[in-house]
């Protein structure tokens, strides 16, 4: 290419190039030539542009002005000035440009060529980018503030909840976070919770551990939300019931098991108390039902036994000692006696026995039965008593208390088939808060009878059921009525029974009866001397059961009494009204259809105010009678009775005292 060609090409480029091209004198900074692009970009005609200096055409947005660029141009061949320059536009406007300066060598001396590229679009894009960046930064800052706020809120929440919020590694079981309430829950600071992967399992109650560990593993494997209830051992040894709700949740550190622990000890205690109460109610209802049943059976049974035993006794009395039939009659009487005892037993645990309570001393009851108990216990068990001579008296039926002692001693004996030690003791105890019977008995002084053995003891399951009627662990040999009877008697006397026992460590039964004020107990009155003394008084006999009435009548007549009789209440009232002579005593059955014994006594008394009354019954539903017939002229005779016991009792009542029960 020739020089002319090159000049030609340069000129064409100058004319056609899209950048504004300005040629200037480096010494004066005057514009000497511009290309069409420069005219377009500035919006100014060529003559106007040729009157400007570079300082007027360009502006440095910062730093030194155009002059230093020209100075630089004198020393340098080419350089670029990328940013920070603007090109004047008509109308006091400026266009952002990038500059490239080149020194040219013309014949008249050096010239400067300045190429200015419009960078408006790029600037705008850059500005937008900057704005966008600033916006982004602002948003990030806002979000960070939000997150900080949220974290603070969460922390406040975690602190204010009445649950322990926790997070754990599902694989190892190690807690990775626990809320600050963790310390109040168990007494261990959060750091202790996080310290060991087995913290949770270690604190689990032994009875809950296997179940809960297995359940948790199962739920984690299935990825299931779950709820567990169990006990944790607190630092002070307390068992704390907790409700634990957990789920698997993603977290920055991988999947975590997250949940809450709530202290539900009080709720559990309330539930357990309610369950215990329901159980007791159930037991009471059962006892009530059995009692009704027993009462119903015993009523008929006692009448039958009165007849059987009555005639057996008459037969035995009538037959000469050497009569071979006498043995048979005695056997009938003996069996009848045992049947009568069994009936009494049935009634006692059904609490439907008529009590003949007197003020007595448990010490004296035990002391007077000691010889019999010793024989019962036998040789291979050592028997000891520790009796408090100053024991406060109680009010109870002596026959029943004897039964209680007997049943407890028999059980103790049976629990020691290969020997051991059996102790019966009495003492005064004060029941107050903290006493094991405090829930059952009012705070006060009680006389306590203790029967303890060194025998086989019992499991908790057995111990929970011993007082149930018919509950026995002795197979066909036991009746299961011994302790039910004890319970019935003691409850009916306003007391309570406690059991302490452990397998292999023996058993102690404690009977508590309310102490009563009053003088020393008198034992049961002695049997009147001699056989049955009779009398000549008139007796009104009221009994609905014909055979019983007949045997009673013949017993009374044999003893010399005049007898008028009635087979029901209204009949008795009519007989009493119609009888011309005196009536000294009413002997009446208690339980009769229609009008009961008490109503009969009251009605007869309206016409004959001073008349004495002897109630006869095996059982009663009458709560007043059940707690003992009132004092004064009224007395009570237990069915089944024999001709002799009836005659004796009638004599005693007529003579003033109520005689033996
Ligand atoms: P039974 O003696 O006919 O079985 P009880 O009502 O007297 O009926 O006693 C019920 C159960 O209570 C007994 O079968 C026995 O399991 C348990 N029991 C009672 N007393 C004792 C005792 N002293 N030691 C161990 N177990 C006893
Ligand atoms: Mg028994």
CA dist 251 and 548 (Å) reads 89
Is the CB–ligand 1 distance for residue 456 below 6 Å? yes
pLDDT recorded at residue 591: 81
Closest-CA residue, ligand 1 atom 4, reads: 472
pLDDT for 361 equals: 94
Q: Is 60 exposed, middle or buried (0-12, 13-18, 19+ CB in 10 A)?
A: middle
Q: What is the pLDDT of residue 659?
A: 40
Bridge partners, 428 (sequence order) = 447
- Determine the pLDDT at residue 565: 95
In terms of Cα–Cα distance, which of 577, 501, 507, 488 is closest to 540? 577
* CA 6/CA 381 separation, integer angstroms: 142
User: Nearest residue CA, atom 19 of ligand 1?
Assistant: 411
What is the C-alpha radius of gyration for the chain, rounded to an integer number of angstroms? Answer: 57
pLDDT at 529: 40
Asked if residue 464 has its Cβ within 6 Å of ligand 1, the reply is no
φ, ψ for residue 297, nearest 5 deg: -65, -45
> How far is C-alpha 296 from the chain's CA centre?
39
- pLDDT the model gives residue 525: 41
Probe residue for ligand 1, chosen from 290, 472, 486, 498 as the CB with the greatest number of ligand atoms within 8 Å: 472
Separation CA 204–CA 187 (nearest Å): 14
Reduce the DSSP state of residue 361 to 3 states and report it: coil
Q: What is the pLDDT of residue 577?
A: 93
* Mean pLDDT (10-residue bins), the chain, 661 residues: 78 88 87 93 93 88 69 72 83 87 81 88 88 92 89 84 91 92 94 94 95 94 93 94 93 88 92 82 71 72 86 88 89 84 68 71 91 82 93 88 88 92 96 91 95 95 87 81 84 91 94 80 41 81 92 92 94 94 92 86 90 82 54 72 88 69 38
Which residues make beta-bridge pairs with 637? 616
According to the model, what pLDDT value does residue 637 have? 83
Give the model's pLDDT for residue 354: 62
Please name every residue paired with 178 in a beta bridge, in sequence order, or none if there are none. Answer: 166
- Hey, which of 346, 411, 505 would you mutate to test ligand 1's pocket, going by the most ligand atoms within 8 Å of its Cβ? 411
Counting Cβ atoms within 10 Å, is residue 444 exposed (0-12), middle (13-18) or buried (19+)?
exposed
Q: From the CB of 471, is ligand 1 less than 6 Å away?
A: yes
How many angstroms does the Cα of residue 469 sit away from the middle of ligand 1?
11
Question: What would the DSSP string read from start to end of 41-54?
Answer: HHT--HHHHTT-BH
How far apart (Å, rounded) are the C-alpha atoms in residues 47 and 121?
29
**How far, in Å, from the CA of 156 to the mean position of ligand 2?**
64
Looking at residue 111, its pLDDT comes to 85
Residue 274: what pLDDT?
A: 86
Query: What three-state secondary structure class fits 387?
Result: coil
List domains and CATH numbers for the chain: 14-118 (3.30.450.20), 161-263 (3.30.450.20), 358-514 (3.30.565.10), 538-654 (3.40.50.2300)
445 lines ligand 1 (CB under 6 A): no
pLDDT (0 to 100) of residue 428: 95
- Verify cis geometry, omega within 30 degrees of 0, for the bond prior to 238: no
């Amino acid at each position: 290419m020739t020089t002319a060609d090159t000049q030609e090409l340069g000129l064409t480029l100058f004319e056609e190039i899209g950048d504004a091209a300005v040629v200037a004198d480096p010494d004066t900074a005057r514009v000497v030539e511009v290309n069409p692009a420069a005219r377009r970009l500035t919006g100014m005609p060529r003559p106007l542009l040729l009157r400007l200096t570079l300082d007027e055409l360009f502006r440095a947005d910062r730093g030194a002005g155009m002059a230093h660029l020209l100075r630089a141009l004198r020393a340098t061949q080419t350089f670029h000035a990328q940013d920070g320059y603007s090109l004047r536009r008509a109308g006091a406007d400026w266009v952002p440009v990038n500059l490239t300066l080149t020194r040219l060598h013309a014949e008249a001396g050096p010239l400067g060529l300045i190429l200015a590229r419009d960078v408006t679009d790029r600037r705008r894009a850059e500005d937008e980018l900057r704005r966008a960046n600033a916006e982004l930064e602002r948003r990030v800052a806002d979000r960070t503030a939000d997150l900080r706020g949220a974290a603070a809120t969460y922390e406040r929440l975690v602190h204010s909840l009445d649950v322990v919020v926790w997070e754990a590694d599902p694989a190892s079981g190690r807690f990775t976070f626990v809320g600050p309430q963790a310390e109040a829950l168990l007494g261990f600071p959060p750091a202790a919770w996080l310290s060991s992967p087995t913290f949770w399992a270690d604190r689990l109650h032994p009875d809950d551990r296997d179940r809960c560990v297995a359940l948790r593993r199962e739920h984690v494997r299935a990825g299931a939300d779950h709820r567990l209830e169990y006990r944790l051992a607190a630092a002070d040894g307390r068992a704390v019931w907790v409700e634990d709700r957990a789920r698997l949740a993603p977290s920055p550190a991988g999947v975590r098991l997250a949940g809450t622990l709530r202290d539900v000890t009080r709720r559990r205690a309330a539930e357990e108390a309610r369950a215990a109460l329901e159980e007791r109610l159930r037991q009471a209802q059962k006892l009530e039902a059995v009692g009704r049943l027993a009462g119903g059976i015993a009523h008929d049974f006692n009448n039958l036994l009165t007849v059987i035993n009555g005639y057996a006794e008459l037969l035995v009395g009538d037959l000469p000692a050497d009569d071979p039939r006498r043995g048979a009659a005695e056997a009938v009487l003996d069996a009848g006696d045992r049947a009568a005892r069994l009936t009494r037993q049935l009634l006692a645990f059904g609490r439907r026995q008529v009590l003949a309570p007197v003020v007595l001393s448990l010490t004296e009851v035990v002391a007077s039965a000691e010889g019999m108990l010793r024989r019962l216990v036998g040789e291979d068990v050592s028997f000891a008593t520790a009796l408090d001579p100053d024991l406060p008296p109680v009010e109870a039926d002596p026959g029943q208390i004897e039964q209680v002692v007997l049943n407890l001693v028999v059980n103790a004996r049976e629990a020691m088939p290969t020997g051991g030690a059996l102790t019966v003791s009495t003492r005064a105890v004060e029941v107050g808060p903290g006493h094991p019977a405090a829930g059952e008995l009012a705070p006060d002084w009680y006389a306590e009878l203790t029967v303890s053995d060194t025998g086989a003891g019992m499991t908790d399951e057995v111990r929970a059921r011993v007082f149930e009627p018919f509950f026995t662990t002795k197979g066909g040999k036991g009746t299961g009525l011994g302790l039910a009877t004890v319970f019935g008697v003691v409850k009916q006397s306003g007391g309570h029974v406690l059991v302490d026992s452990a397998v292999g460590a023996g058993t102690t039964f404690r009977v508590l009866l309310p102490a009563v004020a009053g003088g020393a107990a008198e034992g049961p009155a002695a049997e009147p001397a001699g056989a049955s003394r009779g009398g000549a008084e008139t007796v009104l006999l009221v009994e609905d059961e014909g055979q019983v009435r007949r045997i009673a009548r013949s017993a009374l007549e044999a003893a010399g009494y005049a007898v008028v009789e009635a087979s029901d209440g209204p009949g008795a009232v009519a007989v009493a009204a119609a009888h011309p002579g005196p009536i000294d005593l009413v002997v009446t059955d208690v339980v009769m259809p229609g009008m009961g014994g008490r109503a009969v006594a009251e009605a007869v008394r309206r016409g004959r105010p001073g008349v004495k009354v002897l109630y006869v019954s095996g059982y009663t539903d009458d709560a007043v009678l059940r707690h003992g017939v009132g004092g004064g002229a009224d007395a009570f005779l237990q069915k089944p009775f024999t001709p002799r016991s009836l005659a004796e009792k009638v004599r005693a009542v007529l003579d003033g005292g109520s005689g033996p029960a």
